């Protein structure tokens, strides 16, 4: 029972960390706010967001293995597959802004200046799509926890 509680807690903390750092990316990705310090900060914020995503995945998998309900209950539930699919889609959507942030940092450090407004808008668009999809994962989770999908 203690392990289940600790796994649930770690999973929740990972999700909340993802939300905080994804929201930070959305806030920082604005042409009127972007300066050299923000370009550098975006790289760090994105790295923490990625680490939180890995933690969320690992703690979620750990819950299916060592949680109270067990493998059979989780892996036969279509809502788990929906959650994993959403997570993968969000992960794929995060690749573009991650690469953009890294390129912006390289160009800034090489003396190339800041990205143009169109690039900033594009990065923000990808971040905002992720931000709108992410809340669907805990929505599916609360339904799953109440026995839906079985």
Torsion of CA 84, 88, 89, 94, to 10 degrees: 140
75 exposure class (CB count in 10 Å sphere: 0-12, 13-18, 19+): exposed
Query: Structure tokens of 147?
Result: 């026995």
What are the residue ranges spanned by the domains of the chain? 2-145
pLDDT in tens, 101-124: 999 999 999 998 999 999 999 999
**Is it true that domain 2-145 has CATH number 1.20.1630?**
no
Tell me phi and psi for residue 55, to 5 degrees.
-60, -40
* Short-list 65, 62, 55, CA closest to 87: 55
Specify the pLDDT at position 97: 98
The three-class DSSP label of residue 34 is coil
pLDDT in tens, 30-79: 999 999 999 999 999 999 999 999 999 999 999 999 988 888 889 999 99
Query: Structure tokens of 39?
Result: 């370009």
Q: Give, as one character, the DSSP assignment of residue 115.
A: P
Read off the pTM: 0.93
């Amino acid at each position: 029972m203690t392990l289940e509680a600790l796994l649930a807690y770690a999973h929740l903390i990972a999700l909340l960390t993802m939300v905080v750092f994804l929201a930070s990316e959305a806030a920082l990705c604005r042409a009127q706010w972007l300066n050299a310090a923000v370009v550098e900060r975006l790289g760090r914020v994105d790295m923490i967001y990625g680490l939180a995503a890995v933690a969320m995945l690992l703690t979620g998998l750990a819950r299916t293995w060592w949680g109270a309900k067990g493998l059979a209950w989780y892996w036969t539930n279509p809502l788990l597959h929906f959650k994993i699919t959403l997570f993968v889609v969000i992960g794929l959507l995060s690749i573009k802004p991650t690469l953009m942030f890294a390129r912006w940092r390289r160009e800034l450090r090489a003396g190339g200046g800041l990205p143009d407004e169109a690039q900033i808008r594009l990065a923000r668009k990808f971040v905002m799509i992720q931000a709108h999809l992410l809340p669907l994962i805990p929505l599916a989770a609360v339904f799953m926890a109440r026995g839906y999908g079985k």
